[in-house]
């Protein structure tokens, strides 16, 4: 008969406790259906020509994270899928905001250019 030492018993107890904890943690993670739906909608909403033109890198980051979230769902790694879906949602929102800021900047520049042309025309007519 094999004699067990206190260290071996403690190690087996730690291993058993850790295994039970890991199994319960995996079992208690709910499927992130809502987060996935929100991320899908955000990425789809952000996927416009304007966003692609003005914030392509941000949009691509959101698309990549959504793809990774889908893969995590398939692997049943729900905690990671939830995290990636939340990040994809935020990245899509950032892409939209960056695109909006770029469009606003272009509009402001166009307005300034139109104002300059108008002033030049007024000054030219006043000089005559």
- What local confidence, expressed as pLDDT, does residue 9 receive? 61
* Residue 94 CB coordination number (10 Å): 16
Q: What pTM was estimated for this model as a whole?
A: 0.67
State the Cα angle at 56 between 54 and 59, rounded to 5°.
115
Euclidean distance between CA atoms 96 and 76, whole angstroms:
30
The tens place of each residue's pLDDT in the chain, 128 residues long, gives 556 666 776 667 666 666 655 555 555 789 999 999 999 999 999 999 888 888 899 999 999 999 999 999 999 999 999 999 999 999 999 999 998 888 888 888 889 889 998 888 898 888 87
Q: Give domain limits for the chain.
A: 32-127
CA–CA distance from 105 to each of 1, 98, 102, 112 (Å)?
81, 10, 5, 11
Q: Are 35 and 75 in contact (CB under 8 A)?
A: no
Euclidean distance between CA atoms 95 and 35, whole angstroms:
18
Nearest to 89 by CA among 48, 43, 31: 43
């Amino acid at each position: 008969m094999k004699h067990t030492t206190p260290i071996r018993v403690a190690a087996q107890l730690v291993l058993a406790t850790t295994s039970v904890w890991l199994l319960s943690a995996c079992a208690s993670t709910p499927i992130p259906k809502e987060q996935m739906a929100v991320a899908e909608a955000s990425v789809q909403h952000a996927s416009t020509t304007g966003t692609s033109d003005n914030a392509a890198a941000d949009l691509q980051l959101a698309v990549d994270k959504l793809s990774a979230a889908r893969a995590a769902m398939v692997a049943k790694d729900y905690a990671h899928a939830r995290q990636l879906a939340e990040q994809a949602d935020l990245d899509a929102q950032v892409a939209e905001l960056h695109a909006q800021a770029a469009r606003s900047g272009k509009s402001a520049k166009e307005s300034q250019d139109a104002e300059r042309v108008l002033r030049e025309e007024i000054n030219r007519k006043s000089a005559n």
